[in-house]
A and B are shown apart, each in its own frame.
Chain A
Amino acid sequence: MLDNVVDLSRLQFAVTALYHFLFVPLTIGMVWMLVIMEAVWVMTGKQVYQDMTRFWGKLFGINFALGVTTGITMEFQFGTNWAYYSHYVGDIFGAPLAIEGLMAFFLESTMIGLFFFGWNRLSRKQHLLVTILMAIGTNLSALWILIANGWMQNPVGAEFSYQTMRMEMTDFAALLFNPDAQAKFVHTVSAGYVTGAMFVLSISSWYLLRGRNVEFARKSFRIAAAFGFASICSVIVLGDESGYTVGEAQQTKLAAIEAMWHTEPAPASFNLLAWPNETRMENDWQVSIPWVMGLIGTRSVSKQIPGIHEIMAQNRLRIQSGMLAVQALEAVRRNGKDSAALKVLEAHKQDLGFGLLLKKYTTDVATATPQMIDAAARDTIPRVAPMFWSFRLMVGMGMAMLLLFGWSFWASLKGDFQHRPRLLKLALCCLPLPWLSCELGWVVAEYGRQPWTIYGVLPTRLSVSTLSVESLYGSLAGFVGFYTVLLVVEMMLMMRFARQGPGSLGTGRYDNETAH
C-alpha cells in the first residue's frame, strides 16, 4: 500500500501516461502509411489503394479516439496532481503545450474530420492534401510535446527567479533546439512509424495466411515492409544518438542504464549483461565488452564516463552547496533587501535543486545532518536494475524487429512473401513488440529521470499538489476503472474490424461483406 501523495501521484501519472502511449505511436506511424497509400491511389488511380486508405483509416480512427481521450488526461494532470510543478516551471513548460494546441492539434483534429467525412466532397488531390496535413499535425504534436519533455530532461534556456519563486524562460531558441528534445523527437516518432508498420504488416500477414483479400493484403504488406524497414533502421541509429545526448546531459541516467558503478579508465567497457545489486551498489556479476561503452557514450576513446559512485560524490558536494542556496532563498523570501543572502543565493543558485532534495528529510534544510546529506546523495541515483533491464529489453526487441522487417522487405522485393508462412507467422507474433518497446523506452526516459521532475532543478516530491491520500486513491481507482473498460471496448472493435477486413467498407469488392 502506498501511503503518501507523492508515490500515488507518480503511480497515477505513470498509469495514465503509459496508457496514453499505447495509442500515440500507432497514430503517429499509421498516419504516414495512410498518406503513402492515398498518394499511390491519386497517382495510379487504382481503386484498391483507396480501399486500403479507407480500411486502415478505419482502424486508425478507432485507435485515434482513445489517443484523444487519454491525451486530455495528460493535460489535466499537470494542474490537478502536479500543481507546484505547474507553478514552478509553467513559464517554460506551458508554452510548448499551448503552442502544440495552436500549431499542431488544431490542424490534426480539424483535418481528421475531413479525412473521414470528406471522401465524397473533396477532389482526390484535396483529400490527399487533407491527409498530409493531418499527418503533419500529428507529428508536430509529438514535436512540441517532446520539446516540453526534453526540457524536463535537460532544462536549458531558463533561470530561477527568487521574486516569483519559479523558473523563468530566458532563451526560447535554447528550449526549441535543445539537443535532448531533438534526439528524443526523432527517436520517438520513428518508433511510432515502426508501430504503424508492424500493425499493418501483422494484420496483412494474417489475411495472407488465411488466403483472404490477397491482393489487398499483398499491397499493404509491401508498403508496411518498406516503411517499417526504413523506420526501424532510423529508430536504432537515432536511438544511439539519443543515448549519446543522454550521456551529455544526464550522466546519472546513462550510468544507471549501463550499471556502471565506478568510473573506468577511458574508453569504458560495455556491460552486455549484469546483475546489479542495489544494496551493495555493485554488480554481482557482469559480462563486459571492452571499449564499446566509451565509443557509444562519448564518441571518443579518451573521454571518461563517470560511474555511479563518482556521480554520487559530486552530487554530495552539490547538495552541500544547495543547502546554502536554500537557506539564502528562505532569508530572501522573508526580507527581499537582505543583500548578503542575495549574494549567497546568486553564488549557489545552480545547486538550489540539490538543496531542495533535503526537504525529504527535514523542513529546515539548515539543520541537515551529514547522514541526511548522504541519504539525499543516494537518492539522486535511480534504481539501477529496472533501468538496466528495461533498456536491454527495449534494445533486444528493436533488434528482433530489425530482423523481421529486414526479412519482410527482402521477401517483398522478391515478391514471394505470401508463400512464406514462417515469415507471415513471425510477423503476426511480433505484433506486440513495438508497444512493449515503446513503453519500456518511456520507463527508461522517465523513471531514469528520478528523483527529479525537472532534472537537477525540481525534486519530484516537491512537485505535487496538496491533496489527500483518499482523493488520490479515489481518482486512481476511477482512472483504472475507466481505462480498463475503454481498453476492452477498443480491443473488441479493433479485432472485430480487423477480422472482417476491407469487407467492412461495404464496397462489394471484398470477402465478408455481411459480417458487419
Chain B
Amino acid sequence: MLDYASLKVIWWLLVGVLLVGFAIMDGHDMGVGTLLPFVGKDDTERRVVINTVGPHWDGNQVWFITGGGAIFAAWPLVYATAFSGFYWAMLLVLWALFFRPVGFDYRSKIDNPTWRSVWDWGLFVGGTVPPLIFGVAFGNLLQGVPFHFDNNLLSTYDGSFWGLLNPFALLCGVVSSAMISFHGGVYLAHRTEGDIQQRAQAWVRVTGLIWLLGFTLAGIWLARGIDGYVISSAVQPDALPDPLAKTVSRAAGAWLGNYQRWPLTMLLPASGYLGCVAAMLLLRSGRSFAAFWASALGLAGVIGTAGVSMFPFIMPSSTHPASSLTVWDSVSSQLTLGLMLVVTLLFMPLIILYTRWAYRVMAGKVTAAYVRENNHTAY
C-alpha cells in the first residue's frame, strides 16, 4: 500500500482532476445555459441549443456530485468547513442547480411561450450562477477565509456573506464565468450550424478576451497585492491529520513560491493562455472539435494555476491562520484514501468509456429539422 504522505498528494491531484472534469463536462452544459437566451433567437433555435446538451447534461452533472462526494470522503474537514462557512453561497449554487433538471425536462413539454421563456431563464440561471460563485469562492480561498476550529475541531465561520463579495473575488468570478461561457460557446459552435453557430462564435471571441484579460489581471493582483500563506512550523507529511498542530504565517508573494520551487508548474498558467488562444484560432479555421479540447486544456490550466499557487493549502484561514486546512491535515485516514483510490482507478476509465460512447451515439449537428422530426421526444 502507498504511504500516507503520497496518498495525501495523490488525493490532492485527484480532487483537481475531478474539478477539471467537472469544468470540462458540466462546464460546457452550463456555458450553453448562459448563452441560451442570446444565441437562440426563437423557440426552434432555442430547442436546437438545448438539444445539443439534452442527452448529456445529466451524466455531466454527476462530475459535480461525485466531486462533492469525493471531497466529503477524502477531505471531510474541507467539506464541512467550506459548505457550512459559505452557507448562503452554497445554497445559491444549489437553488440555481434546481432549475436544470426540471428546466431541461419540462421546458418543451408544454407549448406555451410564457412557460418556455420562464424555463429558458431558469436554464440561464442554472448555467450562470454556479460557475460565477465557484469563481468567487476560489477568489476567497486565495485571500484566506475567516474561520477557526475549537479544540474539538468544530468549525466556526467568522465572516458574513457580503464579505465574500470583495473586488478580487468578484474578478475571479468574472474569469470563471467567462471561461465557462467560452467553453459552452465552443461546444455550441461544434454541434450547430448556420446562424446559431455564428452567434456562438461571436460570443466565444468576446468571452475569450474577457478570460485572457481577467486571468492576467488576477495574476498581477495576486503577485502584487495579495499575501500568500506559508506553514512556518516543521511539516510532517505522513503525520496524523490535525489542522491545529501547525503554525502558519502570511507573506507577500508567497503564492508564487511554488512556481520558483518547481519551474515546470509554469506550464499551468501557460496552458491557461495557450488553450484559450488555440481554441479561438482553431474555431476560426473550422476545426471545432479540436477547439473544444483546446478550451478544455485552458480550463485545466487556469484551475491548476489556482491549485498549485496555494499548494499545500486548500483553505487558508485569514483570522486564525493556524486553523488553515492543508493537503497534509484535512484528509481522511490512510485506509479510506487507499480504498477510494482503488475505487476511483477502477471506475474512472469505465465512466470515460461509456460517456464517450454516449457522445458518439448522439454525434452530429443538431438542426431545426432534427427538432421538428423529434418533436415529441426532443427537449
Contacts and interface: CB of A to CB of B under 8 A. Distances in A.
Interface in A298-332: none
Interface string A352-390: 000000000000000000000000000000000000000
Interface stretch (B61-69, B164-172, B198-206): B61-69
Contact of B336 (A81, A95, A333, A334): A95
Nearest to B66: A101
Contacts of A118: 55, 361-362
A165 B153 contact: yes
Nearest to A334: B151
Interface in A147-175: 161, 163-166, 168-170, 172
A72 B102 CA distance: 13
A216 interface: no
A229 interface: no
Contacts of B354: 107, 110-111
A113 B90 CA distance: 27
Given A80-B91, A91-B333, A99-B343, A117 B55 contact: yes
A159 to B, nearest CB: 10
Mostly, the A contact residues are: helix
A78 B57 CA distance: 24
Interface in B42-59: 54-59
Given A95-B336, A114-B55, A78 B72 contact: yes
B83 interface: yes
Interface string B87-106: 11011001101101110111
A79 B79 contact: yes
Interface residues of A, number: 80
A8 to B, nearest CB: 13
A94 interface: yes
B98 A87 contact: no
A110 B72 contact: no
Given A169-B336, A467-B84, 17 more contacts: A65-B104, A75-B68, A87-B80, A91-B333, A98-B69, A101-B62, A102-B348, A106-B59, A106-B62, A106-B347, A113-B54, A113-B362, A164-B333, A168-B336, A465-B80, A482-B98, A489-B102
Interface of A: 54, 61-62, 64-66, 68-69, 71-73, 75-76, 78-81, 83-84, 86-87, 89-95, 97-103, 105-107, 109-114, 116-122, 161, 163-166, 168-170, 172, 333-334, 465-467, 471, 474-475, 478, 482, 486, 489-490, 493, 496-497, 504-506, 516
Q: What 4 A-B pairs have minimum CB-CB distances, sorted nearest first?
A: A90-B76, A79-B83, A101-B66, A94-B73
Interface of B: 54-59, 61-62, 65-66, 68-70, 72-74, 76-77, 79-84, 87-88, 90-91, 94-95, 97-98, 100-102, 104-106, 109-111, 151-157, 240-242, 332-333, 335-336, 339-340, 343-344, 347-348, 351, 354-355, 358, 361-362, 374-378
